[in-house]
Amino acid sequence: MASYEPSVRGHSDWTGVFTMDDGWYTSSVDCSITPRPGNKKMRPLGSVYVNASIALLEQRPSSGTLFFNFAHDTDITPIIDALGILNPPEDLPIDRVAFGHSWSSSELVPMGGHLTMERLSCNATAISPAGIYVRLVLNEAVVPFRACQSGPGYSCPLEEYASILRQGLPDYASECELPESDPQHLNFWWDYSTATRDNYRDETKCD
């Protein structure tokens, strides 16, 4: 209410009900009222983008050197969860403010928040061989992939990165009971010039 009443009435008494910590924590728990850690729908939703990004990373740069997607903060949080970075070890409590947890919406998805997946072609170093590596950057900060950090700059060998994620990600089509008549994977990076209304799916169990 506090975010909407001022638009109509010029003020809102609700702004004084909660402390700044309460407001910050509520946003972290809700993440704008979307899937969040503890919600079983979150990882299947994020897996759609993550699986497509793996396919893109495995292609050579001839497919393109830069790919951009623009979305709401509520589209980014399921991807972060599916990647397994910054996820809290357990569900956030809703009866008190849990200070010090890693799932802070103000840090995960601030205004202009962004997640970058870098495909790096690296020379050999004292600690890693030459090869193709993946590094995750969230809002200008390198975030180590929890299961693999053996490459330069907390990166992970592409082959290992892809294998770890593919083994652990749920299948969106089956988990969310996606109709067979709908697209079974994300393809707009490749078919953006031929997209039509028919490319979009109906609602699923995860919506």
| Total domain count, the chain | 1
User: pLDDT value at position 200?
Assistant: 53
Q: Is residue 4 one of the residues assigned to a domain?
A: no
CA dist., res. 105 & res. 138, Å (int): 12
Q: In a 10 Å sphere around its CB, with 0-12 CB exposed, 13-18 middle and 19+ buried, how is residue 185 labelled?
A: exposed
What CATH number should be reported for the domain holding residue 91? Answer: 3.40.50.1240
User: pLDDT value at position 185?
Assistant: 83
Single-letter amino acid, residue 149: Q
Domain holding 155, by residue range, is: 31-199
Q: Is residue 116 one of the residues assigned to a domain?
A: yes
Q: Is residue 151 one of the residues assigned to a domain?
A: yes
Q: Is residue 26 one of the residues assigned to a domain?
A: no
Q: Is residue 14 one of the residues assigned to a domain?
A: no
User: pLDDT value at position 31?
Assistant: 54
Burial pattern 127-155, b for ≥16 Cβ within 10 A else e, equals: ebeebbbbbbebeeeebebebbeebeebb
Q: Is residue 19 one of the residues assigned to a domain?
A: no
Kindly give the confidence (pLDDT) of every residue in the chain, 207 residues in length, as a single tens digit, with 9 standing for 90 and above: 666 777 788 878 877 777 777 766 776 666 533 445 557 788 888 999 999 999 999 998 877 889 999 988 888 989 998 999 988 777 777 777 777 777 777 788 888 999 999 999 999 988 899 999 999 999 999 999 989 999 999 999 999 999 999 999 998 888 888 888 887 888 888 887 776 655 555 566 676
Q: Is residue 18 one of the residues assigned to a domain?
A: no
Q: Is residue 16 one of the residues assigned to a domain?
A: no
User: pLDDT value at position 199?
Assistant: 53
CA dist., res. 120 & res. 135, Å (int): 7
User: pLDDT value at position 144?
Assistant: 93
